[in-house]
Amino acid sequence: MSTTEDSKKMAKPKAPRKKAAAACKTTARRKTAARKKAPEKPQSVLIVGAGFAGLGMAIRLKQAGIEDFIILERGNAVGGTWRDNQYPGAACDIPSNLYSYSFAPNPNWSRSFSGSEEILDYVHHLVAEFGLEKHIRFEQNVAELRFDETKGIWTATTDKDVVFTGRAAVMAQGPLANCSFPAITGIEDFKGKKIHSARWDHDYDFSGKNVAVVGTGASGIQIIPELVKVAKHVKVFQRTPGWVMPRPDFSTPEWNKLLFRKVPASQQAMRELLYWSHESMALAVIWNSPLTRIAERIGKWHLRRQVKDRWLRRQLTPDFTIGCKRVLVSNDYYPALQKDNAKLITWPIARISEEGIRTVEGIEHQVDCIVFATGFDVSHSGTPFPVLGRGGRVMGDDWKGGAQAYKSINVSGYPNLFLTFGPNSGPGHNSALVYMESQLEYALKGIRKIVGEDLKVLDVREDAQQRFNKGIQKRLAKTNWNSGCKSWYLTEDGFNATMYPGFATQYAAQMSEFKEEDYQTA
Amino acid sequence: MASIDLDKMLAKIKSTQWALSDIDWDAPGAELITEEQWPKLKEFMADLMWIEHVGARAFAALAKKAPTDTLREIYSYFHAEEQRHANAEMALMRRWGMLEGDEIPEPNVNLRIIIEWLDRFADEMPVYVLGTVVPMLEIALDGALCTFLLETVKDPVCHQAFEKINDDESRHLGVGFTVMEMQGRSASYIKMVQMMARVMDPRLILGIASYMPLLNKMRDNVIAMGLPEEKLYKAMQKFERIGGRTEEGRRNPWFQLIKQHGRWVTNRSNKVYHVPVDALVKITGMVPRKALPAVPSWVKELTYEPTATR
Ligand SMILES: Cc1cc2nc3c(=O)[nH]c(=O)nc-3n(C[C@H](O)[C@H](O)[C@H](O)COP(=O)(O)OP(=O)(O)OC[C@H]3O[C@@H](n4cnc5c(N)ncnc54)[C@H](O)[C@@H]3O)c2cc1C
Ligand SMILES: [Fe+2]
Ligand SMILES: [Fe+2]
């Protein structure tokens, strides 16, 4: 899999989806060849990535009257997560009315939890409605961002040595955009078909096939019920069982869509309702509270109701506090596992062989295809490509001991740069886009200041950043994520650079204020 | 011998995995089983297979309860390895024509009772209890029985399989004793009191009531097979020797308890112990199979086939 394999077509609002996925392995390397000169005068803003974050930033810039910006996107279509995750059953697990932008509501969601295709349609609709197409440069894989202090300019260089410049830069390359096959011994020996959930192969026909699914996280539990419907036999390889909650999924009746279209305030009210109900979940998910026990009881009830066999239930019972890892939602995962043509395997994997997967109980499970729903490459202490700030300092080096930022969005020493989904911005219980909106507003304030006051440097002060992080880590220590279980939220040493320890409302409050005294300007 | 480094042990475990398909189950040598041996061997193998399961189920419980991530992962490997032993032993039985169709061999009633107990209560037992009983069972039953098997059976495939099984077992014991020492290190008066409270726990009493006749029953089986019972006792004394080699190990109250019990078992003249326990063996031997609850579903996972497509 590589970027060159992807279709060369420019993205139309309806690009052919199966070909649109970007490369699975994506660490772009800059060639040493002489750089091309920056073609135009610097943009006001450079945005890296055309997913929800990058496009949302673009919309807010336009709405604020800033037109000279470009979006650099390594793929050949927009949509990020939702362009790449087109596996069968892919859907959001936060209700669509909340998992969308409040500044671009969609009255037509067909279900409470929309599928990947519908979400991608919404993204395409955003691009068309706000005229973003002309701002996007496709197939530009950013390999380096570098700040020139004297000019106050950010330069993005792609892996093909194309250069773009801007006065401010927004990193929106996605928290879960890179994936790779797991490093299981023997994976190269396997002669059958290998598919990663985030790079689905729509041409592969599963009917009549014996299939293995490795991984039972958010993607795995969505794929498995769909595969069980078509494949001859599905073996599910689980390492740790997660908490699975029932999912209140309904199709939206026509009158409801009509109501949302005619009375937008009614949709706003619905969004508020969903927002507050998710906020209340923070009490169960983020901190260990009586509500945590109640949530766990709901999870256990769901399991008991759907799984009658004592041993299978034991295999599926999580042994960590709910919320410590992402909470899963599904109504059809447990039933699918109990179909005649499905089987849950909890033996550790010893290796992959030519014909299948060998587990420690000594048996080789032979399959035609292995689906890896093993998640994403997340870095807690590095950046996906080198980012060079004042005096040539490298963000990856500054982050050796764990990523740190000010309010998740600025990093001291890297002026005029705004991160989306930066350190400690992760939502455990609410829509990522709710968090995103406050980040976009904040970035907009900063960008307006840079452009409006013609600043070369808007840099957060080191001491302000340190003060902020002291507070955050103190609050994190009291959360379920730091309660002793391993998850992708934590570094190997257990440092949490991912999650925000509080309500979305608190996060929004944190982001609503732009404290000028915390910044140094020039 | 100092305690082992558990992280290194886990890495070692991961790098030394074997599979049923590493062995050619159709290689010549099966004919070396004598006609006289055959019926006893069949019963012996069936029990052995089930003893693997006792270890397996206990490790499964430990995999959920162990105090560190590393130990939990080690135990989840051990759980699977015991299943592998049972699978390999079933493959041997098949090779020797001891399986009728796909049927899983029946265990003796004492084993059935202990498996039933483990399945019901093991997950609720404290790590201390399981962590000490398991090494004893492994040494006494697994260890002694395997050595014995290799002394009497000439089939090279059997030797090949048990070489691999014994390698696994030596790691199980290494970890077992290390954990016992870890527990001894933190032993205190309070722990002692907690332990005594545990002993009063009716679930544990049930467990003890099934564990004691199991050992005596296995002793009878061993004798029936023509093995001098001293061999079994020697193995059990090994538990006392290795488990008590350090101060920490000796300080583990559970070690003291199991060790004492081992002494009773190996002392035939201790009538106070053996008369009632032998009676229990007799009684349980009369329990009709139908009276026992259905086997837990994990039992059905056993297979002698090195590869599976379903
Ligand atoms: C299967 C799945 C389900 C999810 N469900 C939910 C949910 O229900 N609710 C929720 O709140 N969140 C959910 N998420 C999280 C989701 O990732 C975010 O909600 C959101 O879509 C992220 O948007 P983004 O724009 O930040 O990143 P992305 O959507 O990943 O977009 C990043 C873009 O940047 C491009 N890019 C990356 N690197 C470079 C580079 N070097 N140069 C140029 N371009 C680059 C990528 O190609 C991509 O197009 C889900 C994630 C997954 C994977
Ligand atoms: Fe064993
Ligand atoms: Fe063992």
Is the Cβ–Cβ distance between A97 and A109 less than 8 Å? Answer: yes
User: What pLDDT does residue B188 have?
Assistant: 58
What is residue A39's predicted lDDT score, i.e. its pLDDT? 57
Q: For residue B263, tell me if it sits in a domain.
A: yes
A123 lines ligand 1 (CB under 6 A): no
Q: Does any ligand 1 atom lie closer than 6 A to the CB of residue A174?
A: yes
Q: Are A389 and A21 in contact (CB under 8 A)?
A: no
Nearest ligand 1 atom to alpha carbon A53:
25
Q: Does residue A35 surpass a pLDDT of 70?
A: no
Phi, psi of B50 (to 5 degrees): -75, -30
Confidence (pLDDT) at A38: 53
pLDDT tens, residue by residue, B137-174: 787 766 677 777 888 899 999 999 999 998 999 899 88
A406-409's contacts with Cβ under 8 Å and 24+ in sequence apart are A406/A460, A406/A464, A406/A465, A406/A468, A406/A518, A407/A442, A407/A468, A407/A510, A407/A511, A408/A439, A408/A500, A409/A439, A409/A442, A409/A443, A409/A511
Nearby residues of A128 by Cβ (< 8 Å), 6 or more positions away: A13
State phi, psi for A231 to the nearest 5 degrees.
-75, 165
Residue B24 lies in a domain: no
On whether residue B295 sits in a domain, the answer given is yes
More confident residue, A371 or A1: A371
- Is the separation of the CB atoms in A449 and A455 below 8 Å? yes
Note the pTM of the prediction, 2 decimals: 0.88
pLDDT at A249: 77
Task: Flag whether B19 is in a domain.
Answer: no
Domains of chain A: 4-175+378-521 (3.50.50.60), 187-243+287-372 (3.50.50.60)
Residue whose CA is at the smallest distance from ligand 1 atom 3: A92
Chain A residues close to B303, C-beta within 8 Å:
363
C-beta A96 within 6 A of ligand 1: no
Whether residue A358 lies within 8 A of chain B, CB to CB, comes out as yes
Contact criterion met (CB < 8 Å) for A362 and B77: no
- Round to whole Å and give the CA distance between A141 and A92: 27
Which of A232, A175, A134 has its CA nearest to residue A49? A175
Count of domains for chain B: 1
Report the b/e string of A165-200 with b at 16+ CB within 10 A. Answer: bbbbbbbbbbbbbbbbbeebeebeebebebbbbbbb
Q: Which residue has the higher pLDDT, A497 or A464?
A: A464
Residue A34 structure tokens: 């002489």
User: For A253, which DSSP code?
Assistant: P
Percent of chain A with pLDDT over 90: 66
What is the pLDDT, as a whole number, of residue A19? 41
Domain that holds residue B157: 35-301
Q: Average pLDDT, stretch A21-40?
A: 52
- Lowest average pLDDT, out of A139-153, A247-261, B99-113, goes to B99-113
A483 touches chain B (CB under 8 A): no
Alpha helices in A354-461 (DSSP H): 395-398, 432-452
A289/B contact by beta carbon, under 8 A: no
Residue numbers in A near B64 (CB within 8 A): 319
- Chain B residues within 8 A of A312 when measuring between CB atoms: 297
Lowest-confidence pick of A40-49, A429-438, B44-53: B44-53
Check residues B177 and A418 and name the one with the higher pLDDT: A418
- Please indicate, yes or no, if residue B140 is contained in any of the structural domains: yes
pLDDT at A122: 96
In this complex, how many residue pairs, one in chain A and one in chain B, have their CB atoms less than 8 Å apart?
A: 72
Q: Is A74 in the pocket of ligand 1 (CB under 6 A)?
A: yes
3-state DSSP percent of chain A in helix, strand and coil, to 5: 35, 20, 50
H helices of A175-321, where?
A: 218-230, 254-262, 264-285, 290-306, 310-316
Q: Which residues share a beta bridge with A165?
A: A155
Of the two residues A453 and B228, the one the predictor is more confident about is A453
> What is the per-residue pLDDT across A285-336, written as a single tens digit (0 to 9) for each?
777 777 888 888 999 999 999 999 999 999 999 988 887 788 899 999 999 9
List pLDDT tens digits, range A186-206: 999 999 999 999 999 999 999
Shortest Cα distance, chain B CAs vs residue A348, angstroms = 7
Low-confidence ranges of chain B (pLDDT < 50): 1-2
Q: Is residue B220 domain-resident?
A: yes
Q: Find where tokens 């450079």 sit.
A: A46
Q: Which residues of B touch A350 (CB under 8 A)?
A: 14, 17, 19
User: Which residue carries 């069968």 as its tokens?
Assistant: A88
Query: For every residue of A379-398, which 3-state class applies, written as one string?
Result: CCCCCCCCEECHHHCEHHHH
Least confident of A1-15, A499-513, B289-303: A1-15
Model confidence at A28, pLDDT cuts 50, 70, 90, reads low
Spell out where A136-289 has E strands.
136-137, 142-148, 153-158, 163-171, 193-196, 210-214, 233-237, 244-245
Q: Does A309 touch chain B (CB under 8 A)?
A: yes
Provide the residue count of chain A: 522
Where residue A3 falls among pLDDT bands split at 50, 70, 90? Answer: very low
CATH number at residue B170: 1.20.1260
Show residues of chain B in contact with A348, CB under 8 Å: 73, 76-77, 80
Which ligand approaches the C-alpha of residue B173 most closely? Answer: 3
Q: Of B70, B93, B95, whose CA–CA distance to B8 is shortest?
A: B70
The CB of A219 under 6 Å from ligand 1? The reply is yes
* B297·A348 Cβ contact <8 A: no
Closest-CA distance of chain B to residue A53, Å: 36
Q: How far is the CA of A375 from the centre of ligand 1 (A)?
A: 13
Bridge pairing between strands A356-359 and A364-366: antiparallel
pLDDT in tens, A120-130: 999 999 999 99
**Atom number, ligand 1, closest to the C-alpha of residue A72:** 43
For B62-95, b/e burial (b = at least 16 CB within 10 A) is bbebbeeebbebbbbbbbbbbbbbbbbbbbbbeb
Between A35 and A427, whose confidence is greater?
A427
B26 in any annotated domain: no
Eight-class DSSP state of A521: E
